[in-house]
């Protein structure tokens, strides 16, 4: 599958992942607790993917190796990532958060080199440096962060791509080679629901159905269904177009996140956002080009 044929799937996955932080921010504004959103979305998306996997005859493996992987990947890529993301989104613009997402690819490359999984080249190191420079510029006055007082929340948001990268590294080290992607995704999300619920109980951030009204429940349902659709599109891309084409989804996530933040919340990012995004995109291109 060439880039032109893959473009619709790229737009679906990237558009959904770019929209999701904005929808989550809407849910937070309706009074849904951050970890309440994370729990119900993980449970809902995981349930939909599990149903589709069974319809396709792909069983959810439950041996010790798979269960360890589900839990490790789910805690890092979902529970911890959403813990930082949803708390930060109560304070920072959704468009600013979208600029952070491509960092996960760069941090993954650095982590893989530190763990001895890959060799760190000058190109990937330079791309990572550009990406971090872009994020630093996005936090500067007149860029994507409207107030310097929000810097602490911005740094918390920046931990989210670190969690995504940790999940990528867990997959590289622990994922069973015979595992089918769809049931693995379902198992990972369902495994994440338990620790997320536990963290919500400890922090007093659970969400009972209809406690915030039917609009909030409709929003949670939409987030769960959209999340499942994004995963399906992503796996289709990986299988049919390969990782190089699929890596382009990072650009779409950022552009979609900035657009939806403006369209739904009227976020106006400063002029420095453009060079910041340019640095981030250049870094993502260098890291992705290295991996061809």
In tens, the pLDDT along 62-90 reads 889 999 999 999 999 999 999 999 999 99
- In 3D space, the residue among 132, 88, 81 whose CA is nearest the CA of residue 106 turns out to be 132
Q: How many CA atoms lie within 13 A of 50 on its CB side?
A: 16
Could you tell me if 234 and 246 are in contact, meaning their C-beta atoms sit under 8 angstroms apart?
yes
Residue 120 has pLDDT above 80, yes or no: no
In tens, the pLDDT along 258-282 reads 899 999 988 888 888 889 989 998 8
Residue 199 has pLDDT above 80, yes or no: yes
Name the CA radius of gyration of the chain, rounded: 18
- In 3D space, the residue among 171, 179, 173 whose CA is nearest the CA of residue 53 turns out to be 179
220 pLDDT band (50/70/90 cuts)?
A: very high
How many structural domains comprise the chain?
Answer: 1
Range of the domain at 23: 3-290
Residue 291 has pLDDT above 60, yes or no: no
Instruction: State the pTM of this model.
Output: 0.87
Q: Helix, strand, coil % (nearest 5) of the chain? A: 80, 0, 20
Instruction: Give the span between the Cα atoms of 115 and 236, in whole angstroms.
Output: 29
Residue 292 has pLDDT above 50, yes or no: no
For the CA atoms of 27, 31, 35, 40, the dihedral, rounded to the nearest 10 degrees, stands at -60
């Amino acid at each position: 599958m060439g880039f032109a044929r893959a473009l619709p799937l790229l737009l679906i996955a990237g558009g959904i992942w770019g929209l999701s932080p904005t929808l989550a921010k809407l849910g937070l504004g309706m009074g849904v607790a951050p970890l309440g959103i994370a729990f119900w979305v993980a449970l809902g998306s995981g349930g939909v993917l599990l149903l589709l996997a069974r319809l396709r005859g792909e069983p959810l493996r439950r041996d010790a190796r798979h269960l360890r992987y589900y839990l490790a990947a789910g805690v890092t890529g979902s529970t911890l990532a959403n813990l930082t993301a949803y708390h930060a989104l109560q304070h920072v613009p959704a468009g600013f958060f979208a600029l952070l997402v491509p960092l996960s690819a760069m941090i993954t490359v650095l982590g893989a080199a530190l763990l001895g999984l890959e060799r760190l080249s000058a190109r990937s190191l330079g791309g990572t440096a550009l990406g971090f420079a872009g994020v630093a510029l996005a936090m500067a006055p007149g860029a994507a962060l409207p107030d310097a007082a929000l810097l602490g929340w911005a740094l918390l948001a920046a931990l989210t791509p670190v969690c995504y990268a940790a999940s990528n590294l867990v997959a590289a080290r622990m994922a069973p080679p015979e595992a089918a992607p769809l049931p693995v995704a379902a198992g990972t999300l369902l495994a994440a629901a338990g620790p997320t619920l536990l963290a919500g109980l400890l922090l007093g951030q659970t969400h009972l159905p209809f406690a915030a009204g039917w609009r909030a429940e409709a929003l949670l349902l939409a987030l769960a269904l959209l999340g499942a659709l994004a995963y399906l599109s992503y796996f289709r891309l990986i299988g049919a177009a390969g990782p190089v084409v699929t890596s382009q989804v990072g650009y779409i996530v950022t552009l979609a996140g900035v657009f939806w933040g403006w369209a739904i919340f009227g976020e106006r990012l400063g002029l420095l956002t453009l060079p910041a995004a340019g640095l981030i995109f250049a870094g993502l291109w260098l890291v992705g080009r290295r991996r061809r």
